[in-house]
Amino acid sequence: MVKETLDYELLKERKIVKFCKKCVLSNQRPRTEFDENGVCSACNYKERKKSIDWEKRNNELKELCDKFRSRNGQYDVIVPGSGGKDSAYVAHILKSEFNMNPLCITWAPHEYTKIGKKNFDDFTKSGFDNLTCFQDGRIHSKLSLLGFEYVADNFLPFNHGQKAFAFNLSVKLNIPLMFYGECGPVEYGGDTKNKIDKPKESFENWDFDYHKGVNIDKILMKGLEVGILNEDDLRKSYDFYRHPPKKDIDRIGCEMHWMSYYKEWLPQENYYYAAENTAFTPRLGRSQTTYTRFASLDDSTDGVHWLLGYVKFGLGRATSDAAHEVREGQYTREEGIHLVKKYDHEVPEEDIKNFINYVGISRERFDEVIEFYYTQSPNVWKKVNGKWKLRHTLTNDGCDDNSYPKNR
């Protein structure tokens, strides 16, 4: 039975829940700042983008590509991604508009969905070389279990590899330039220090920006302590879960850039672009726990990741989708609130089944971990008549809100 968490976000003093006045995001999203008017940093950045000279930024991108472009057709930029809409957009733009020669790389999902694998195959068939890292499946499933139980993030080892794999290949293949899609903390809410109006990012703050304060060595030691890993497991290489030594990064001159700095980042437009140029295909129906059908399609355990975010912070996948679509003007805030109320609480039963099969645990053990993490967010949840209820909601009917029926 899990009795502690390593997630530093849950170890900090927690705030009373408040919601952005413009979108549907709450102040529980890690490191998201609200201004004196109750507006989140992502909405404020959306306003800031209106004054950005995107033609000037495009010229900066052209100059960057001119600097790194190979003259003999050799790879000159690494583009990490899965063949989803965003990485397909980035790779295709660099190749078709800026005459770059991208090497696309993929840190493979835990287990591909059918639609995710189809999109990946169609992406490579549209004209892109790809190197894929399939991890040691036995070890990776154990790391995913440790991430689930002790950090409340089944994607923790995936996130480590997804970030570090590009830098490792950059050093090994001597390809200094790397391009990711969007800077999430700026576009969606988070710590924007040294990120706003910055085209690139280094690795120094990864552990706290992306890994909940838990580097791969900390999770390995926890695995050994609780018996999920053994001494033999720790003798194998975990280099692709770690960034290369700084001296090697400096020697190669590695640069990781955000496309969202150079091009206005519009996920819906990325979908249209990828569908037209790389045969990207959405789901036939909506994804579990939300109303959209074109994002996060690759991994068959994806819904567990979003469930854990909902349990820890009261922020589910529908909130994430609706927040940025309200910002983009695709929905009014009232419509976004309706979508959150309808879908955020949904339990992703199919993905839960996939996950417990992948890591080899019972549904009872899964539910015990979920129950534990409810108890770690007392500012978000309260148990009422044996059921966990949100203390505060967008519709003001949380159990600590004014309109909550007191006889429930």
**Between 174 and 7, whose confidence is greater?**
174
Residue 153 contacts residue 305 (beta carbons within 8 Å): yes
Phi, psi of 345 (to 5 degrees): -85, -5
Predicted local distance difference test score (pLDDT) of residue 111: 86
Reply yes or no on whether the pLDDT at 404 is more than 60.
no
Helix axis angle, 137-151 to 156-173, nearest 10°: 130
Strand partners, 258: 180
The pLDDT of residue 408 = 47
Split into its structural domains, the chain has a count of 2
Mean pLDDT throughout 296-309? 93
Of 243, 262, 281, the position where a domain reaches its end is: 262
Question: Is 65 within a domain?
Answer: yes
- The string of pLDDT tens digits covering residues 305-361 is 999 999 999 999 999 999 999 999 999 999 999 999 999 999 999 999 999 999 999
The domain boundary residue, chosen from 214, 247, 262: 262
Q: What is the pLDDT of residues 203-250, one digit of tens each?
A: 766 666 666 678 899 999 999 999 999 999 999 999 999 999 999 999
Q: Which positions ≥6 away from 293 have C-beta within 8 Å? A: 282, 283, 284, 285, 286, 287
Q: Within this chain, do residues 383 and 248 fall inside the same structural domain, yes or no?
A: no
Band of residue 269 on the pLDDT scale cut at 50, 70, 90: very high
- Between 200 and 42, residue with greater pLDDT: 42
Q: Is residue 73 part of a domain?
A: yes
In a domain, 110, yes or no: yes
Separation between Cα atoms, residue 249 and residue 236, nearest integer Å = 23
Is 179 a member of any domain?
yes
Q: What pTM did the predictor assign?
A: 0.93
Residues 104 and 250 in one domain: yes
What range does the domain containing 397 cover? Answer: 378-408
Last residue of a domain, which of 230, 262, 294?
Answer: 262
Residue 114: is its pLDDT beyond 50? Answer: yes
**333, part of any domain:** no
Q: Is 243 exposed, middle or buried (0-12, 13-18, 19+ CB in 10 A)?
A: buried
Residue 148 inside a domain? The answer is yes
Structural domain contains residue 240: yes
**What is the C-alpha separation between 146 and 369, in angstroms, rounded?**
11
In a domain, 293, yes or no: no
pLDDT value of residue 211 = 65
